[in-house]
Chains A and B, each alone.
Chain A
């Protein structure tokens, strides 16, 4: 947003400050995505995928010693170096666009006034005509003995200066599953402790397939338990921690020993300590999130908010970017376009990637009624997995159509390699209102995974899914 505003020759200032984690981790300019989110996550996911590629490559004729080991420090150093270059890049960009940047913690102290406190405690006051709050979120802790002292969060994981070793991941969010996925992919012993369901809010049929795949590939799941105590048995980098957990269904108590415990149970908005009460900005007391109108305006007319702190909006980088840019254009360039939050695509970068856009099957059924939607689906086997004989019936695509609206596509789900690349274009098609008929009349590119979307057949009511012949047979589902 700052860069956009500066384009219109507005005097702009950015305050950015990272409160260190309980274990002392901190980072530079760029926010969650760049430092402790999307970027390092995808790079580590890539490291895990390369581990799989190594194994596949033998079947394709490549020769090297049987066992190849992974070095955590080499990976983390490379990732951190790249992040460092991004932090630097952002500082340069702000400078070039003449945006004033201060590495200081900002909080409102009165109308149109903020106080900025830097690392050394030096305070300064600034006034502005308008304010934009984009403070994002931080990982939540369990509130049990030992959590802040001994557990880490995603804030710490990506720059951990030692290999985490045998890891317990607590949580069932995409953060939990993505992290558990790449940790296992680089060869670590990983257990995921899930209180109830996986990927709440996502299509549950797909969420279960993701969990199944991870389990089949060596990740342990402990279902329906929550940790109640974390103790340190041995100090070290990593040390040994003892985790005591209680069943959600009864009184059973279990204990386990791990080198690292990673908490990924949710994120809390950074809105409680920035003086919002001093200027009268209403927040949702329970969640801490800020309700805004469709122009991203809070209840205080000169204060706006975007990104992860917004109530009822998606916690995604591209959404935040889009909202920010459009907001500034509306404020300073006379534009009227509002951010379109409908059919925002997303991808979960678990070992088997999941790309989605639009309604989950259950949400579609709830909104439109089961008799008014048609679900087309197909399993497929990526050609690249045939030679190494991998998982011949795990990849899956599902398209949900609204019968009452010319069978318009209202939900798209794909489980398979490069799900993000596959889903992006599909999201654009959904933005154009694609119908099943148009989908069927589009020619597939052969041989790629994405072509399965042009070949999905109806799901038969009741029991087993319709299994279409695998992709490699130039599938001809009726």
Chain B
């Protein structure tokens, strides 16, 4: 056996050398572009390159989660991110709509019950249709697709391994790494790996997660806890320190405040120490409360870790080719053109250091990269003023700087903050609490009053912010926004009516129709 293996390795070595020799002799790589990772960034880059008539291949492979969950082509966003998240968020929102409906005259007996499996099946079916759609698109655009796990043999050679262990060698002139990230497990907590799940598993559960503890303060944590609460599950969020680190903290507090009013339980300034399994499959979690200095326990049906994501670089064999990664985060270091430390090797998306972990930026970066490589373009990706939305029960959309970042950058004397508490019209008849519906615009104080950041909490926050992000891209100023007539009645119009500054100390509650 050992002899056979060695022979095989030597054969592989010979094969590898043969490939390189062939390439060196003919000067030709099999593909113009090879993309490792079939997610948002990878697919966009591959399809764009194919449009230029290039020979392109994509390698995509999903290592099953510790719980065994796996999925098809499309990456995180399609399978275990944006798409299933937004659909489940919608399910939760519809629960609120059902309550509102009564006030609007619909005779529907409360309370209404939710069945997880109906929702999960519908969501999973939709995701599968997207997997299929992506495969068809690749086919249509003549991009070769390999369901294989790729690793570097040399700067132009990738070794692809199928699930069954079959190997294929692929060579390419240019290689783009777009393998994204996977959820982290807190390995120092006993039982974390054996008994906990992550977002990778949540969206594929066939049965309801039941009473759930979500550990983490990221948007992943809050969004998941939000929709679990919304569909009627007993949900708790455990946070070690602040919510939504990196986001405007005033807005982050309003988001969690609303969640608390909405029914999500919060264990603040707590961290888990162990997870144990009880009889009947329940889990007992023990944690430390840093404020009280006490140790507490409770039982849950599910424990979900949302404590951050780690870049998927381990099996790429980057050392073999010398692609540099950040010693702090493990992410691949790239320059403004998405180039790594090795010529002809690029990286885009969640795997790259210092970039937003968002689908639209990955897609845009991928497309622009393809255009620079094959389309005679020199346009670089602009990562400034990228808008985003957190889909918590009360949504939070933002673009530009947080208030604290603006103050740090320009000094509080040079920053003017306009704000308003408003009430969506639809909440009135529904008798819904609008306490956390709030808008904040951070501007430079000098004459022109350029807008540095815009923050909106309320329904349809993403829809509201998108257009304003366009304005900010054009260098919008406060006077320009005030000249814009509002659309009535909407929530978004309140942005065009902002006139109370924080500096004035006046009451910022909107009055009137």
Contacts and interface: CB of A to CB of B under 8 A. Distances in A.
A57 B103 contact: no
A469 B137 contact: yes
Chain B interface mostly: helix
Interface string A42-70: 11001100110110110111111100111
A309 to B, nearest CB: 18
Contacts of A19: none
A61 B137 contact: no
B47 interface: yes
Interface stretch (A33-41, A100-108, A195-203, A360-368): A33-41
A68 B108 contact: yes
Interface stretch (B1-9, B246-254, B261-269, B423-431): B423-431
Contact of B462 (A65, A344, A443, A448): A448
Contacts of A386: 87, 126
A420 B465 CA distance: 12
Interface residues of A, number: 91
Nearest to B466: A450
A263 B484 CA distance: 33
Contacts of B361: 443
Contacts of B471: 425, 428-429, 431-432, 434
A62 B117 CA distance: 11
Nearest to A421: B463
A428 B94 contact: no
Given A57-B95, A93-B511, A420-B490, A316 B467 contact: no
Interface string A419-445: 011111111110111100011011111
A14 to B, nearest CB: 14
B82 A446 contact: yes
Given A60-B91, A474-B77, A46 B466 contact: no
Interface in B126-167: 126, 130, 133-134, 137
Given A57-B95, A431-B480, A422 B389 contact: no
B474 interface: yes
A224 interface: no
B487 A355 contact: yes
B354 interface: no
A270 interface: no
A355 B464 CA distance: 13
Contacts of A450: 462-463, 466-467
A476 B118 contact: no
Interface in B353-370: 358-361, 363-364, 367
A424 B513 contact: no
A34 B429 contact: no
B444 to A, nearest CB: 15
Contact of A448 (B389, B426, B428, B470): B389
Given A43-B425, A318-B488, A444-B360, A425 B134 contact: no
A443 B483 CA distance: 25
B460 A46 contact: no
A259 interface: no
Interface stretch (B12-20, B23-31, B408-416, B491-499): B491-499
Interface stretch (B277-285, B330-338, B380-388): B380-388
B137 A473 contact: yes
Given A39-B489, A345-B487, A442-B473, A57 B134 contact: no
Interface centre among A33, A60, A76 (most CB of B within 10 A): A60
B513 A423 contact: no
Contacts of B86: 383-384, 447
Interface centre among A50, A86, A383 (most CB of B within 10 A): A50
A434 B489 contact: no
A64 B115 CA distance: 11
A421 B464 contact: yes
Given A63-B114, A446-B77, 16 more contacts: A39-B489, A46-B429, A53-B98, A68-B107, A76-B105, A78-B105, A386-B87, A420-B492, A421-B492, A423-B467, A424-B492, A427-B467, A427-B487, A445-B387, A447-B82, A476-B367
Interface of A: 30, 33-34, 38-39, 42-43, 46-47, 50-51, 53-54, 56-57, 59-65, 68-76, 78-79, 82, 86, 89-90, 93, 186, 316-319, 322, 340, 343-347, 355, 383-384, 386-387, 418, 420-429, 431-434, 438-439, 441-451, 453-454, 469, 472-474, 476, 478
Minimum-distance CB pairs A-B, first 10:
A425-B467, A61-B119, A75-B105, A450-B466, A424-B492, A448-B462, A425-B468, A426-B467, A429-B470, A420-B490
Interface of B: 40, 43-44, 47-48, 51, 77-78, 82-83, 86-87, 90-91, 94-95, 97-98, 100-101, 103-109, 112-120, 122-123, 126, 130, 133-134, 137, 231, 358-361, 363-364, 367, 382, 385-389, 397, 425-426, 428-429, 460, 462-471, 473-477, 480-481, 483-493, 495-496, 511-513
